[in-house]
């Protein structure tokens, strides 16, 4: 029994409490349980829709205020009525469309918050995560998830409106853009600190490939090369191969498959990076229009193949053809727009950059373009079992049928007529046309 104070009798009554039983719960625990039951949110059945990046649309932009400024805190009442308390504008560079600037201007303040995706923190090489923005509409019970590009996250730094302070003088922005070498060094440091064993191993391989030769090693090599006997026949055959701009071939092959060995074009370690099309077929997803017409017109062949290993091999050949065509478009004048949204694996990009080196203007020379086209045509012959219709591959390569016929001739191919179609075949042993040297005037 609890005793009450004298002045509390009119507000309280004397209450008797019984001792709690051993197995019974205390009132405090029961109260907590009841509160938990009240806080439960009823489940919502929503339809989830994941939207992919569109090449002609800008993904969502995300800006954050490192100073802790909250644009929605204590807003101006008049501005709220006008629904214009904060204005956001996006500016794009005319000559370099990848460069963007986000400007947030709060009403009633003489300060603008400016962020860029090409200076300062954006060039630090820290944004390796994938982000997405989700919007839940309870009225329609739908959840839309939109991916955010990693270079579209802006650090909004305050700047006094009307001041002509250049960005290079801002303490929170880098003075100059990082060079390619500095970016590569930072990426390598981050990989060594936070990367997986596989990424660290790949970074070491890339570094060893890019290292320059030691001067002393060059001297020893020059001394050894003086004693080497030159095989003139092999040198002449290699010169013919370079002048024709064709892949490695076997002139004495007895089957078309042996004429241009596939393992010399697609190396053993590259097959694992070419399974994107195979995974799309396994998931029964729609094939994107980003793939060349040559690939899209032959999807029905893949669906009819029962052997999974054979299907995967053909999918990898199609993917390799796609990467070659996209690399050509990326370094040409008339095909840059078609490369948006396409990603070439880093291993293949490094290989392509060494095989098909570009000029100072990042354009492919005529010789390297011919070599790339020859690789595409050989792989197309493998895909069509050495009886190919060149009409769609000519459109993908953005070349004329006459120019493409010259490439086929240099590969040793022949044209035949079948069912009113002009088909390309590869007879063996290979027979090449004679190379004509230009006359000097």
Residue 44 has which token pair? 């919502």
Cα–Cα distances (Å) from 322 to 192, 278, 408, in that order, read 32, 13, 19
Strand partners, 131: 148
Q: Which residue, 97, 130, 163, sits at the end of a domain?
A: 163
Do both 155 and 264 map to the same domain? no
Helix 366-383 / helix 401-410 crossing angle, nearest 10 deg: 80
Do both 159 and 246 map to the same domain? no
Q: From the CB of residue 60, how many other CB atoms can be counted at a distance below 10 Å?
A: 14
Cα–Cα distances (Å) from 119 to 60, 78, 162, in that order, read 19, 36, 21
Average pLDDT over residues 72-91: 64
Residue 239 parent element (H or E): helix 232-244
Q: Which residue, 144, 163, 182, sits at the end of a domain?
A: 163
In a domain, 370, yes or no: yes
- State the pLDDT confidence band at 374, using cuts at 50, 70 and 90: very high
Distance CA 3, CA 252 (A): 112
pLDDT in tens, 318-333: 999 999 999 998 888 7
Percentage with pLDDT > 90 across the chain: 17
Q: From the CB of residue 419, how many other CB atoms can be counted at a distance below 10 Å?
A: 5
Give the pLDDT of residue 383.
93
In a domain, 390, yes or no: yes
How far does the chain reach from its first CA to its final CA, in angstroms? 124
Distance CA 411, CA 247 (A): 9
Dihedral in degrees, nearest 10, Cα atoms 131, 137, 143, 149 = -20
pLDDT at 213 > cutoff 80 = no
Do both 368 and 269 map to the same domain? yes
Least-confidence region, from 232-241, 277-286, 358-367: 232-241
Task: Count the residues in the chain.
Answer: 441
Distance CA 222, CA 226 (A): 7
Q: Kindly report the CA angle at 232 between 226 and 233, in degrees rounded to 5?
A: 150
Residue 230 has which token pair? 């030159």
> Residue 150, class by beta-carbon neighbours within 10 Å (0-12 exposed, 13-18 middle, 19+ buried)?
middle
| Nearest Cα residue to 154 out of 131, 136, 138 | 131
Do both 134 and 273 map to the same domain? no
Do both 157 and 263 map to the same domain? no
- Residues 103, 89 contacting (CB under 8 angstroms): yes
Collapsed DSSP state (helix, strand, coil) of residue 153:
strand
The distance from CA 219 to its chain's CA centroid, rounded to whole angstroms, is: 42
Distance CA 346, CA 323 (A): 11
Do both 147 and 247 map to the same domain? no
Give the pLDDT of residue 209.
63
Do both 266 and 124 map to the same domain? no
The number of distinct structural domains making up the chain is 2
In a domain, 377, yes or no: yes
Token pair 């290993």: residue: 309
Half-sphere exposure of 126 (CA within 13 A, CB side): 9
Task: Tell me which residue range forms the domain holding 249.
Answer: 242-425
Supply the pTM of this predicted model: 0.48
- State the pLDDT confidence band at 8, using cuts at 50, 70 and 90: very low
pLDDT at 255 > cutoff 60 = yes
In a domain, 261, yes or no: yes
The distance from CA 238 to its chain's CA centroid, rounded to whole angstroms, is: 36
Do both 284 and 153 map to the same domain? no
Answer with the residue of higher pLDDT: 219 or 15.
Answer: 219
Do both 149 and 250 map to the same domain? no
Provide φ and ψ at 194, rounded to 5°: -120, 0
Do both 147 and 251 map to the same domain? no
Distance CA 137, CA 211 (A): 54
In a domain, 129, yes or no: yes
Token pair 């990076």: residue: 273
Give the pLDDT of residue 371.
92
Most confidently modeled range among 3-17, 102-116, 176-190: 102-116
Cβ neighbors of 396 (< 8 A, separation 6 or more) are 292, 293, 294, 325
Do both 270 and 414 map to the same domain? yes
Q: Which residue, 110, 143, 163, sits at the end of a domain?
A: 163
What is the DSSP code string of 270-288?
GGGG--HHHHHHHTTPPPP
Do both 155 and 246 map to the same domain? no
Give the pLDDT of residue 18.
46
In a domain, 18, yes or no: no
In a domain, 172, yes or no: no
Most confidently modeled range among 46-60, 246-260, 325-339: 246-260
- Residues 409, 433 contacting (CB under 8 angstroms): yes
In a domain, 28, yes or no: no
Residue 441 has which token pair? 């005037």
């Amino acid at each position: 029994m609890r005793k009450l104070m004298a002045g509390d009798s009119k507000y309280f009554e004397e209450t008797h409490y019984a001792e709690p039983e051993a197995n019974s719960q205390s009132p405090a625990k029961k109260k907590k349980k009841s509160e938990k039951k009240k806080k439960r949110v009823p489940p919502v059945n929503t339809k989830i829709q994941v939207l992919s990046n569109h090449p002609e649309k800008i993904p969502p932009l995300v800006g954050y205020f490192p100073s802790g400024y909250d644009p929605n805190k204590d807003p101006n009442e008049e501005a709220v009525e006008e629904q214009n308390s904060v204005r956001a504008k996006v500016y794009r560079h005319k000559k370099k469309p990848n460069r963007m600037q986000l400007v947030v201007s709060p009403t009633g303040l003489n300060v603008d918050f400016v962020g860029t995706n090409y200076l300062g923190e954006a060039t630090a090489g820290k944004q390796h995560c994938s982000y997405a923005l989700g919007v839940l509409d309870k009225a329609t019970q739908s959840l839309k998830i939109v991916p955010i590009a990693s270079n579209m996250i802006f650090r909004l730094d305050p700047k006094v409106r009307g001041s002509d302070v250049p960005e290079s003088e801002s303490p929170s922005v880098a003075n100059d853009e990082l060079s390619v070498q500095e970016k590569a060094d930072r990426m390598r440091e981050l990989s060594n600190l936070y990367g997986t064993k596989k990424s660290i191993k790949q970074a070491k391989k890339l570094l060893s490939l890019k290292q320059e030769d030691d001067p002393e090693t060059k001297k020893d090599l020059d001394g050894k090369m003086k004693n080497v006997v030159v095989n003139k026949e092999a040198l002449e055959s290699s010169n013919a191969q370079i002048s024709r701009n064709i892949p490695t071939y076997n002139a004495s092959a007895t089957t078309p498959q042996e004429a241009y060995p596939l393992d010399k074009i697609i190396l053993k370690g590259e097959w694992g990076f070419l399974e994107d099309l195979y995974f799309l077929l396994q998931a029964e997803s729609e094939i994107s229009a980003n793939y060349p017409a040559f690939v899209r017109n032959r999807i029905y062949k893949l669906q009819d193949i029962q052997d999974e290993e054979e299907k995967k091999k053909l999918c990898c050949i199609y993917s390799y053809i796609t990467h070659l065509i996209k690399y050509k478009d990326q370094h040409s004048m008339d095909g840059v727009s078609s490369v948006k949204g396409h990603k070439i694996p880093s291993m293949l990009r490094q290989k392509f950059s060494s095989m098909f080196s570009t000029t100072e203007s990042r354009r492919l020379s005529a010789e390297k373009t011919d070599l790339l086209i020859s690789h595409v045509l050989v792989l197309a012959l493998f895909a069509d079992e050495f009886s190919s219709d060149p009409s769609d591959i000519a459109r993908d390569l953005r070349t004329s049928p006459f120019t493409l016929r010259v490439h086929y001739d240099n590969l040793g191919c022949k044209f035949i007529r079948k069912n009113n179609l002009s088909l390309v075949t590869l007879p063996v042993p290979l027979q090449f046309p004679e190379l004509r040297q230009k006359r000097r005037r």
